[in-house]
Amino acid sequence: MGPDRTSMGRRDALALLGGALALPFSVGAGAALPPLLLAHEAADHIDPAGWLVSEKLDGVRALWDGVRLRFRGGGAVAAPAWFTRQLPSIALDGELWIGRGRFDELSGLVRRASPDDAAWQQVRYMVFEMPGGPLRFHERAAALSDLDRRAGSPRWQAVPQSTVPGRDALRRRLEDVVRGGGEGLMLHRSDAVYVTGRSRVLLKLKPMQDADAVVVGHAPGRGRLAGRLGALQVRTDAGLVFQIGTGFSDAQRDTPPPLGSTVTFTYRGLTPQGVPRFASFLRLRPDAWASDRQSTSEAKSASRERSPRASVTCPLCGQPLKRSTA
């Protein structure tokens, strides 16, 4: 189960890549991860010529450095040893995934300090990238697919990449994925060398756009929401501060995302002032816990400066819920 496939993965990877793919990640326990490749939003009528297309999975981003599995924020994933033993000894980038529409279940599973062996049996590491090296993306994708085929491991899988003949076919494929409960599609430039940071060599195509923001305040609810969360006050990487008041379950309004945490929200375009239209809470991003915890004190301080009056105490973080001044 473990040793044969692990050694085979190492031999295959080196044979496929000719030893050119050096591990770009330090394997030290406390080492920080390098920047990752992040996607831009795709235009509605993008021509898919020159792109490889795959399904956008609603999983948790995870980096494998050849030794350990880590969240996007740098924290270690408490995966069972029998799971990681079957991963090849090269750097991989992908998502932990258990199926469409099961993100909340997955999130609760992977955040545990001690892994639940029975629950982890259903987890797969869906790999879409081999970081580093000189190969073009279509070459990296082919190498990943070949390595996956030879390893035959149930624990990890190369995300299928394919060409799409035109705009109409791309639209139909998006509709099929969404109808089946999927999030959308990813488009990666076929001829792209490996790059990091947010880049237009990688695009996401969804019925709605989404983005991340840091929680900097809680606005108390009114009426039937009195004594509970009314809206989150969030700040984007660009420094834009606005409120998200929809998309929360009753349980999330009772125990809202804490100050300093990173949340994902959906929206439909931007106002002339650059504010997301119809912003709606999607989820707390579990792969940013390490960096979220480091920024919590800063976010609390920023929230106090913006909102001097408190009315309700947040039951999760223990801080007063602030009246938004926005």
Q: Which residues pair with residue 94 across a beta bridge?
A: 62, 127
User: Looking up tokens 């295959």, which residue turns up?
Assistant: 12
Which entry of 56, 204, 300, 322 is annotated as an active-site residue?
Answer: 56
Q: Which residues pair with residue 124 across a beta bridge?
A: 97
Contact 25, 65 (CB under 8 A): yes
Q: Is 56 annotated as catalytic?
A: yes
Q: Which residues pair with residue 189 across a beta bridge?
A: 51
User: How far is it, in rounded angstroms, from Cα 196 to Cα 36?
Assistant: 5
User: How far is it, in rounded angstroms, from Cα 294 to Cα 43?
Assistant: 35
Do β-strands 310-313 and 320-322 pair in parallel, antiparallel, or remain unpaired?
A: antiparallel
Q: What burial class does residue 88 get, using C-beta atoms within 10 Å of its C-beta: 0-12 exposed, 13-18 middle, 19+ buried?
A: buried
Longest dimension (CA), the chain: 65
Q: Which residues pair with residue 202 across a beta bridge?
A: 188
User: How far is it, in rounded angstroms, from Cα 109 to Cα 68?
Assistant: 18
Q: Which of 117, 149, 153, 123 is nearest to 57 (CA)?
A: 123
Q: Which of 259, 261, 319, 258 is nearest to 292 (CA)?
A: 261
Element (H, E) at 137: helix 137-151
User: How far is it, in rounded angstroms, from Cα 37 to Cα 229?
Assistant: 34
Residue 168 CB neighbours (<10 A): 9
Catalytic amino acids?
56
